[in-house]
Structure 1
């Protein structure tokens, strides 16, 4: 294991002692779908926001995403619409399709044969589905939908039934679930106990607040996503809690995340704090080796989304424009200044250092990195977004000033 120090001056005042970043290697490969995946749905027209959508280079789109999939049938017309949106992203964006599980009316198309029909429709359209995610947040069906029959055991039976039906159409299909709201352990444990042998991507959601916490308390929840990854991995490896699948190496996915679950409240969704948290959550999940992440949402779903319905950018758009460059191998980094949260990725001869300044005042950073030269630095603040301005290009030098509540991207090139 390599260990070296990067000298940094991380302070708001010139008199503060220099601090250091400690980088240890080797790092963790960043999975292709680990950064910059999003949720999309019927009300999100990519055609109305092609430029901002392409600017974040979506790695995957989950459709229809959220409660919309509980309340609407997954028809051939819906899949045509989804395929059209995929084609507008400007890249090879993976498709994650959410089947219907919960029924809001007797004639709802939530049966195994309906899942099989969706697979037939996708095949006929030439829509390659990377994962079929069986339903959405089944742990809330009994609580929010008033149906106490929805236990982990019942959901597992539905998962197996829909999986079996789709496999008859597409023997190579892969399946994700249970897509629970936050890390609801009793429900997750029940699902894993009965379906640990058949799930291909174990998924959950991250919504730590309702938008009423202080900015500082809200940002402080970001490290919990890494803790949750460890909890899930321990569960999957436990032969008592996962008797059918504990020897399998099951990839992990967070198919919805956002700082607040309150779509009707802009605080901590459509503001700078919400954007910084979203970036941190995605980076930390990628560093922890999570295979798939999908921010909620791509385009305005209430106060979620990178842009509003008029196409006006939100801070999250700027954040994910920075994150699209985080690829290759994630190198573990620690900062001696608790206000600055660094993340370092190495991709060939380039290194990308992303630094979140969680403080409200400016902190200073030195740019020295042994064996590398700094070739560019960009940052943004909430004022940048309000002005609909370009990123702030920082003048390169031995030190850089990182504005309060900003996300800065520094790019280094390896010396010959």
Structure 2
């Protein structure tokens, strides 16, 4: 091996040894110096991890609400009828669609009355909304006076729990102020999703589902308030949604040039991909904001390292003069102080990584979020720590390297 290379390797090892000795000789000061880096790196790592966890959480919550869903809801009364239902059904790529009619009603069980959302749907709603039954079964189109009720309606709303095959009375108010009451047989209890996102504006846990034909019969109406559709697969959901939009717009006389103008259409349409994109943007914005705040801690930490290195240069001025007198070059001195700065920062970065990952795990567990630790976080933590160490050490190291040997030796 070339002797010059060996000499340089020895100098680097010597510089590391000297730097470690200097750090060890002032443990408390070194520890306080790295505290800012620890906090900064920990905050960055924890916030990146939390951002990824929120993304997964939102995705799981939205996917639980339906399979490849497309929701169309009216902006005007008496807008959707069977004609619009057939238009959506015949759109290529649509596998299922359920019309929706929703009204606040009064449910009576053992003489106890409660205001509860009554939702009229068809049997297709079970698949499009990913309905899972806790007991019994979901309603079918031919089930005129059958109901499927949410978990909280069955177990929390009334003093006595409701079970499958129980009977409940449902009262709806007509436009003229009159009321219509019918008795329904509970066909099944819907399993709770325990989610915070309510897809399509319907919270299944606190709703009662009955056939849409029955709710229209009771209200003496024949329109729908919305449609809950499902595309064949998630890859085509946006394309299918756009086609449904075009067909409905043509049906209502909206020109193709106004298709992107939401105010020009009497309805609104969105799909699973749209919701996922919006929630991911929200999670990313929140994460980026928190990371930006955490970077302030890193800036403070880097200033702390710079300050301590400047103090170190002052304290070791005579030592620097002696080293130069013994033949150490300005480059050697520069490398020595840079290495010391990087070691301090790298130590703080590694400790910050551990604290950040641990903090993210504790927070996600407390919030009931999935814990996600992206592999690139480790690289980010180490890279940022090294960059901070170099940036904070350049000025003090350069100052030390430029000291004249004679002046340094005379320093007291």
Bin for the TM-score computed over the shorter chain: under 0.3
Indicate the structure with greater helix content: 2
Per the normalisation by structure 2, the TM-score is 0.20
Greater relative CO (CA pairs within 8 A, separation 6+): 2
Bigger Rg over Cα: 2
Per the normalisation by structure 1, the TM-score is 0.20
Indicate the structure with greater strand content: 1
